[in-house]
Structure 1
């Protein structure tokens, strides 16, 4: 059994990254042994290709503002591992993490020993820890569960939520989910449960067809952006993105979010539809002012995050094609005509050739780098596919970052982007340096 956080983390990180047999069978077996603590959790399930984290954060801040005790389960983390499991934005304590891990650890060994399912993967163990924590140790009024990968076979798909959200569907994780939008949408739509409402901001026609079919099969109320609820952008200023939201349950004029980008308005709309649905059908009461205040207070690390002003440094974990398109659009929207120095790193199993081509459209110059992570692409691999006339290959990102900070003028922008794992390390380094 574990007595220290170091022992606990060594066990967690020593597990295999992904299950050899995809699916929820291992999760279901372990949960049954514990008396199914997940059934004691009132949850919102959030899936999609991009926007899961932002949508989850909007939901958390709105319900916190209304006085609810709100748990959240997210991935990946940006600041520290413990923030994957939080209550009202406070990461799980080391003591509670150790306590929950000591309940889960023998189950993982028993699953491997007593079944033909094999040893649970790292994400399964962490998900189990969260279910034990929220279902047995620290009860909450509401817990927001973010899908790890896909949906249908994801280890979070053992919960029985009050409402499900699918933010969008785009090409990502094709090796695991499939190489067409319809196949990826099928996996995402796997989180839809019988009779449980489903909210989506997906826009691709094929993805919507698949999600609608799944909702019909499950007799689920279906809420689609542009039909059952709408959002109208009213522009942006120093205060943030302004918009109006409308559904049969809620009308919110001139709302504001501080997170930058037109895509954030859609993420906020997904959260607002879920909030109005839960108010209507589950009496989770939130008034309009609490909604407005929650939206304004929402921030999410690593999503077009301004971490310094002199020079201006922005971090963004745009780790797939659609996310990179949104990032490029946001740069043009907020900093038109400004010199933009870009420091970029990506994972080798991503479509980095397409992502680099997109980020080059806003980059005055481009520095390709890498970082110490098993799946990271080398700076050489990134450099070869770049066609930018002012590109540099600097394998040491610390060296590159220092040089670029010195080179960036007061009226210029230093944009650090790519893998969320890379952004996490740069963010930690910059904040520690600032201290």
Structure 2
């Protein structure tokens, strides 16, 4: 059966009902039936609590600047579903999505009738990407972003050239564990035998877990602050500047347009990862490629300015760690501005910690919601911070319109929370013009 694009999207999204089913058995079954496309891919694998998407994009941008054909697999999408599987930053076509779904659906139907059970939405999309990059359209490199955790994530079917673990924080605790050590163990599950790991993790207890697993797999470690460093970081109107230093390089006055110290960390992880490819796989990357790749990289929905008058920013700070970084970025780049924050998040997050951080940088907060199964209601969010007389408006479109009517040109509207929320809000604001 050949599916249309709309049929493919409807079928893929229908798998959301299965939720999250950790484990690699269904992926292994599908890879076997597809002729093991994952074995044909030269991959870079990126896990972490925060910063995965940006780090993936920095790596892609540097490799692309060096003239390589680079695939990426990321989640969730912000503008359109197809962007989850992209080539040199360009989402694959509707026709290719339809072809891939038509290839995977018979396997899904067959798998449904086995003791393993049917694949989840994420497993289906991952299988589609692996078939695309491994069989349909081979790349020089493919950068894979872990969906959740690492050890049992469906992307963990790949055997990469290098592994990156960005950060570790208390997110998805119901699935990954409620301590830093447990979550680090799950993230470190992507470490493979002989494959080095580059990490920006800073907690000593998490690093001990990662180091233990790396040693067990004879995998070299490159740790931010120990094996590579950032100096002279400065926030500018355009973004951030910094110096990167490692055993092999000392690059001064690097520039990124993405704002925040966390983006400097993400960029440094990307530099170290491609430096490893340079050294051990003879990948030709010049310092100019690194400079230009960093400066040209832009990742939507991350402290992104959508409007100048009034100033409107959107940022996918979807957990406490993300909010902490947002707070620091706002203090660096919007210091002294009057800020109204529109906030919505998923029920399974540590909402109280997130709201405390939002309150710290906001003159006013409006809570809202959006159409998503796990989204918290506006009133649920408001009641978590009863000491402030903040407003709740359930419909986010009404909330935005209400705020904009009251906002002066020199004030800021900051919209933050779930990336799923940011995806919807971003479209609405851009459509309004």
TM-score by length of 2: 0.98
Query: For residues 369-388 of structure 1, what are the structure 2 equivalents within 5 Å?
Result: 369-387=368-386
- Structure 1 residue 21 displacement after superposition: 4.6
Residue pair 2:3, 2:101 contacting (<8 A) in 1 also: no
Residue pair 2:244, 2:268 contacting (<8 A) in 1 also: yes
* 1:203 alignment partner in structure 2: 202
* 1:41 alignment partner in structure 2: 41
Output the CA distance in 1 between the equivalents of 2:315 and 2:234. Answer: 21
> Does residue 227 in structure 1 map to residue 223 in structure 2?
no
Q: Which SS does the other structure have where 1:385 is aligned?
A: coil
- Structure 1 residue 116 displacement after superposition: 1.1
Query: For residues 333-352 of structure 1, what are the structure 2 equivalents within 5 Å?
Result: 333-352=332-351
Output the CA distance in 1 between the equivalents of 2:278 and 2:394. Answer: 51
* 1:116 alignment partner in structure 2: 115
- Structure 1 residue 16 displacement after superposition: 3.8
Q: Which SS does the other structure have where 1:15 is aligned?
A: helix
* 1:3 alignment partner in structure 2: 3
Give the superposed CA RMSD: 1.1
What do residues 311-352 of structure 1 show as CA deviations (whole Å, max 9, x unaligned)?
000000101000000001111111111100000111111111
Residue pair 2:21, 2:120 contacting (<8 A) in 1 also: no
- Stretch moving more, 334-343 or 12-21: 12-21
Residue pair 1:71, 1:134 contacting (<8 A) in 2 also: yes
Output the CA distance in 2 between the equivalents of 1:343 and 1:20. Answer: 29
Q: How many residues align?
A: 433
The change in CA–CA distance for 1:124 and 1:17 in structure 2 (over 3 A counts) is farther
* 1:107 alignment partner in structure 2: 107
* 2:145 alignment partner in structure 1: 146
Output the CA distance in 1 between the equivalents of 2:18 and 2:236. Answer: 43
Return structure 1 stretches of 4+ with deviation > 4 angstroms: 17-21
Output the CA distance in 1 between the equivalents of 2:327 and 2:235. Answer: 16
- Structure 1 residue 250 displacement after superposition: 2.3
Output the CA distance in 1 between the equivalents of 2:366 and 2:244. Answer: 40
* 1:360 alignment partner in structure 2: 359
Unpaired runs of 5+ in structure 2?
A: none
Unpaired runs of 5+ in structure 1?
A: none
What do residues 224-244 of structure 1 show as CA deviations (whole Å, max 9, x unaligned)?
001111112421112320101
Q: Which SS does the other structure have where 1:31 is aligned?
A: helix
Output the CA distance in 2 between the equivalents of 1:2 and 1:46. Answer: 33
Q: Which SS does the other structure have where 2:361 is aligned?
A: coil
Output the CA distance in 2 between the equivalents of 1:387 and 1:288. Answer: 52
The change in CA–CA distance for 1:21 and 1:239 in structure 2 (over 3 A counts) is closer
What do residues 343-392 of structure 1 show as CA deviations (whole Å, max 9, x unaligned)?
01111111111100111000100101111111100111100012463410
> Does residue 164 in structure 1 map to residue 202 in structure 2?
no
Residue pair 1:383, 1:392 contacting (<8 A) in 2 also: yes
What do residues 162-196 of structure 1 show as CA deviations (whole Å, max 9, x unaligned)?
00000000000001100111000000000000000
* 1:72 alignment partner in structure 2: 72
Output the CA distance in 2 between the equivalents of 1:108 and 1:233. Answer: 52
What do residues 199-229 of structure 1 show as CA deviations (whole Å, max 9, x unaligned)?
0000011111100111000000100001111
Residue pair 1:49, 1:172 contacting (<8 A) in 2 also: yes
Output the CA distance in 2 between the equivalents of 1:10 and 1:25. Answer: 25
The change in CA–CA distance for 1:306 and 1:124 in structure 2 (over 3 A counts) is same
* 2:241 alignment partner in structure 1: 242
* 1:96 alignment partner in structure 2: 96
TM-score by length of 1: 0.98
Output the CA distance in 2 between the equivalents of 1:270 and 1:124. Answer: 27
- Structure 1 residue 297 displacement after superposition: 0.6
* 1:291 alignment partner in structure 2: 290
